[in-house]
């Protein structure tokens, strides 16, 4: 690829540097500088990284500016992963169980779920489950974790069935959490919709949302609720 040199390149470099230094700390990609010469962008980002104004995270991905405060901050693992995947990530597996207070110790290997089709390779102490529904992208960390726990039938919980149900009910009572989950769950496996419906009936959730969940289920299907089979309305929601 032929690189632009001379005054045009210097002008592009100055624009890139000024844009970065004016911004708050964030992740930067080459695509953030549309309309500027590709080579100028590559060279400028590399130079700013060498000077300590940017931090190189991986090829084509930088964080900065790092001189906004006296103490250099670092992007969180979640922020970097979401930027690489281009989708929201949510806690999964034992990480989800820990976030929701269902296990005491934070797992050594972090687990996440995302709508992305592929996960980055060779990530140490990190496991990523791909192919989740894109409707999850608007959910909070807690909401996404609840969906993952329902996928597991809450079998990763170290608490009793009664305590596990009580903990989930407590989260679902918060503001519009159930409504948001009920809508996102329409793209989840049927067993997730069924368990969420039983939990929703437990908290006397919005009837419209409950009706939508119920209508989405095949009336002759039966689902394994795992640790949640003790829900009061499990049978009404087609638990085995």
Give the pLDDT score at 180: 95
Distances (CA, A) of 42 to 13, 30, 39, 46, 238: 10, 7, 5, 6, 57
**Which phi and psi (to 5°) does residue 62 adopt?**
-130, 160
Length of the chain: 240
Domain boundaries, the chain: 7-64, 78-237
Give the pLDDT score at 31: 82
Fold of 7-64: Arc Repressor Mutant, subunit A (1.10.10)
With 0.75 as the threshold, say if the pTM is over it: no
Give the pLDDT score at 51: 86
Give the pLDDT score at 117: 86
- Residue pair 12/43 in contact (Cβ under 8 Å)? The answer is no
* Structure confidence by residue, pLDDT tens digits, 152-194: 999 999 999 999 999 999 999 998 999 999 999 999 999 999 9
Give the pLDDT score at 170: 94
Give the pLDDT score at 8: 63
Give the pLDDT score at 154: 97
Beta bridge partners of 129: 113
Sites in the chain below the pLDDT cut of 70 = 1-9, 57-58, 67-78, 80, 121-124
Rounded-to-5 percentages of helix, strand, coil across the chain:
50, 10, 40
Give the pLDDT score at 1: 43
Q: How far is Cα 211 from Cα 119, in angstroms, rounded to an integer?
A: 35
- Alpha helices (H) in 38-160, listed in sequence order: 38-50, 77-85, 93-99, 141-151
């Amino acid at each position: 690829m032929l690189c632009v040199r001379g005054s045009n390149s210097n002008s592009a470099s100055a624009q890139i540097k000024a844009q970065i230094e004016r911004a708050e700390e964030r992740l930067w990609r080459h695509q953030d500088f549309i309309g500027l010469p590709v080579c100028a962008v590559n060279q400028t980002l590399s130079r700013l990284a060498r000077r300590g104004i940017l931090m190189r995270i991986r090829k084509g991905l930088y964080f900065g500016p790092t001189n906004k405060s006296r103490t250099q901050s670092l992007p969180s693992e979640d922020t970097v992963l979401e930027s690489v995947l281009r989708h929201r990530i949510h806690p999964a597996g034992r990480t989800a169980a820990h976030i929701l207070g269902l296990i005491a110790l934070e797992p050594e290997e972090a687990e996440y779920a995302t709508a992305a089709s592929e996960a980055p390779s060779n990530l140490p102490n990190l496991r990523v489950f791909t192919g989740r529904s894109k409707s999850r992208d608007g959910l909070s960390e807690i909401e996404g974790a609840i969906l993952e726990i329902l996928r597991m039938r809450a079998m990763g919980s170290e608490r009793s069935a009664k305590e596990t149900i009580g903990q989930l009910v407590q989260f679902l009572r918060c503001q519009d959490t159930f409504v948001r989950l009920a809508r996102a769950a329409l793209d989840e496996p049927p067993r997730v919709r069924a368990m969420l419906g039983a939990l929703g009936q437990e908290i006397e959730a919005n009837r419209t949302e409950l009706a939508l969940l119920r209508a989405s289920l095949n009336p002759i299907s039966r689902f394994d609720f795992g640790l949640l089979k003790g829900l009061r309305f499990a049978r009404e929601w087609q638990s085995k």
